[in-house]
Structure 1
Amino acid sequence: MPERAVPLDAIVFDLLFTLVHPGAYPGGTGRTGWLARTLGVDAADVATRWDAFEPALEAGRAGAAADGLAPELAWVRAVAADLGSPVTDADLSRIDADWDLTRREALLAPPPSTTETLVALRQRGLHLGVLSNTHALELRAWDRCPLAPLFDAVAFSHEIGVCKPDPAAYARILDRLGVSAASAAYVGDGGSNELDGARAAGFGLVVLAEEAPARLAPHDLPRLRAQADTSVGSLPDLVPLLDP
């Protein structure tokens, strides 16, 4: 681990697949696979359309439909119609209810080790923040998450209008924490080039949380490790790492 020029005052965490670990949707796939089965359309078509839509959604640029339907559900309705499988209001209500299924399950029952790690870091006087690329329906359970009270500040991309690795995203959470980048550590699983972004933003320490990539994409670990100053196999390993 590199020597830091200044002591750490804060740690900024990624949320999904770093602090909590969502599982699969019914059928053992991700959200787009579940949607495709629900709509009776081709999964590859849905995935391609989702990849094109998600950046605007996460950056808060996708507005609600004229009838007030949430942007996520308005997108589902449009995609279903375009693919020849229109949905009813009842269909949309069912999709709405389970849109955040895996995120909700993960947020409402976080790993005990995550809670213990955050408590230990707070006891060391560190301020804690969350910076996450996400959207409104995905995080409906955040306010009920046992982890939420442990953070001093959060910045969700759809709410701040910018996504990692844009420097403005990191600046927003640092401003909310009231700390400089040099006096903060960034911890994440490496998605969305967040580690490179944190380095460019000047974080005093950039840490790869290896648990998710080691399980889901082990071939990607060398690349992700190269983007970080150091890595941890599990979150509890952060505590001794950050001790003076």
Structure 2
Amino acid sequence: MKTAGCCFFDLFFTLIKPEYFPDMSENEVLGLGIEEWEAYAEDKALYHKRAGGLVMEETKIMEDITRLLPMQVSPLQQKELLRQRKARMRHALRNVDGRILEMLEQLKLSGRKLCLISNADVIDCMYWKESPLFPCFDKALFSCCEKLLKSDVRIYQRAMQYMNCTPEQSIFIGDGGSGELRGAKNAGMKTVFTEYLERKPEEQRRELMKEADWYITDIWELPGIVSKG
């Protein structure tokens, strides 16, 4: 039996934005600026390791990050860094833009299935079931659990298999990070590049436009695109 079409969503900077707030700001534990902290915390090699499921212990994730820092980090600081990072991710997942939730509900009412495909480590996704996004989705694939990251075409293919839909029935929506739009197109999906939660630098935007079938700045443009796509 042929299923209704499916919308596949990215998570970070598409549906949620893990912003830094007081008492949810790891960088302040070490007296670093956010950009300086993220240069270490988002180190590409370490991120691929943990988001690829090779490191599944939250304390080990933080130890690996702090090992890169040009300073000594005490056990007490390690504990506080982890506490604040977890608090920040939990806050982002629990405090979702109401317009996004309404839009997802509209897509479900139209008969579309919804599936999440997210590059995430165990800290990033540990509070997923507390999120108001959780009941909106039929399935969620997190890279650390799947042992595959976007833009590997296999994670999109796996998601479509779970959802019992073909590439022709599939639309992927994301902010373009990690080459995700290119990966979705390689899997045969149509793609929507969204800047609803965050605007990209002009040069990056131009490049991402090449990988997108549609471009939106307002998340409520999406139901109209989906109905035609």
TM-score by length of 2: 0.87
Please report how far the alpha carbon of residue 45 of structure 1 lies from its aligned counterpart in structure 2 after TM superposition.
8.5
Instruction: Mark the runs of 5 or more structure 1 residues left unpaired by the alignment.
Output: 1-5
d(CA) in 1 for partners of 2:96, 2:38: 29
- Structure 1 or 2, whichever has the larger Rg, is 1
CA distance 1:7–1:207, change in 2 (3 Å):
farther
CA distance 1:14–1:79, change in 2 (3 Å):
same
2:191 maps to a residue whose letter is V
**What does the per-residue CA deviation read over 1:181-228, in whole Å, with 9 as the maximum and x for residues that have no partner?**
22110000000010011000111x2111122442x4344221111110
2:118/2:142 contact within 8 Å kept: yes
Correspondence for 2:9 among 9, 13, 26: 13
Q: Which residue of 1 aligns with 2:30?
A: 39
State the secondary structure of the residue aligned to 1:99: helix
Please report how far the alpha carbon of residue 70 of structure 1 lies from its aligned counterpart in structure 2 after TM superposition.
3.0
CA distance 1:40–1:156, change in 2 (3 Å):
same
| 1:174 maps to 2:160 | yes
Once the two structures are overlaid, the 10-residue window that deviates more, 227-236 or 90-99, is: 90-99
Q: Which residue of 2 aligns with 1:52?
A: 45
Please report how far the alpha carbon of residue 105 of structure 1 lies from its aligned counterpart in structure 2 after TM superposition.
1.9
| 1:229 maps to 2:213 | yes
Instruction: Mark the runs of 5 or more structure 2 residues left unpaired by the alignment.
Output: none
Moved over 4 A (4+): 40-46
Q: Which residue of 1 aligns with 2:72?
A: 85
Correspondence for 1:183 among 169, 194, 198: 169
**What does the per-residue CA deviation read over 1:23-73, in whole Å, with 9 as the maximum and x for residues that have no partner?**
23559xx97xx44x5235797587257233111111011254xxxx63312
State the secondary structure of the residue aligned to 2:210: helix
1:167/1:197 contact within 8 Å kept: yes
CA distance 1:147–1:46, change in 2 (3 Å):
closer
Q: Which residue of 2 aligns with 1:206?
A: 191
State the secondary structure of the residue aligned to 2:116: strand
2:121/2:144 contact within 8 Å kept: yes
1:129/1:173 contact within 8 Å kept: yes
| Number of positions where the alignment pairs a residue of Structure 1 with one of Structure 2 | 225
State the secondary structure of the residue aligned to 1:12: strand
d(CA) in 1 for partners of 2:39, 2:183: 26
Sequence identity of aligned pairs in percent?
Answer: 23
d(CA) in 2 for partners of 1:110, 1:40: 29
Please report how far the alpha carbon of residue 101 of structure 1 lies from its aligned counterpart in structure 2 after TM superposition.
3.5
d(CA) in 1 for partners of 2:192, 2:109: 20
1:226 maps to a residue whose letter is K
CA distance 1:243–1:101, change in 2 (3 Å):
same
State the secondary structure of the residue aligned to 1:62: coil
1:107/1:141 contact within 8 Å kept: yes
